[in-house]
Amino acid sequence: MNVQDIVNTVSQQAGLDQPTTEKVVGTIFSVLQHEAEGTSVSSFFAQIPGADALAQQYDVMASGAAASSGGGLLSSLQGALGSVLGEKAGALVNGVAALKASGLDMAQIQQAGEVLIKQAQTAAGPDLTNQVLGQVPGLKSHLGL
């Protein structure tokens, strides 16, 4: 199962259009890429062809990522929080802001997240997926898991 298969399934099961689903999946993978550490995250991405590239396409730490999420005071706060808390917490803050800026409500984000996690468990195995998610507990709470 590659990343496009996951995007297609999340799109169908969560009732989202393809571009929005791609952004949600890419953003969540980007948060994992920045926050999870060690060989487990490398192994996780190796099990899902294209996931690494999609995460980089929607890199939550790229310059301008906060600006593209709406700008203004929120972006300034995100940038400040990211700077103060360091890259790890900044990736989560930026990722959650990007998900909210995608126009989805929390119920839609949680539904997409649930389907994504189930698909990742199928592709990379439940143990490895849960190990990677365990390294990013803040993401799990934002996804309602």
Q: Alpha-carbon distance 21 to 8, whole Å?
A: 8
For residue 24, the Cα-to-chain-centroid distance in whole angstroms is 6
Show the domain range for 44: 3-136
The radius of gyration of the chain's CA atoms, rounded to the nearest angstrom, is 14
Q: What is the number of residues in the chain?
A: 145
Q: Alpha-carbon distance 120 to 123, whole Å?
A: 5
Tell me, yes or no, whether 107 lies in a domain.
Answer: yes
Instruction: Determine the average pLDDT of the residues in 84-111.
Output: 80
**Reported confidence tier of residue 68, pLDDT bands at 50, 70, 90:** very low
Tokens coding 131: 């190990």
Which of 5, 46, 47, 1 has the alpha carbon at shortest distance from 25? 5
pTM of the complete model: 0.83
Instruction: Determine the average pLDDT of the residues in 30-49.
Output: 92
Question: What is the number of domains present in the chain?
Answer: 1
Tell me, yes or no, whether 95 lies in a domain.
Answer: yes
Instruction: Determine the average pLDDT of the residues in 22-37.
Output: 93
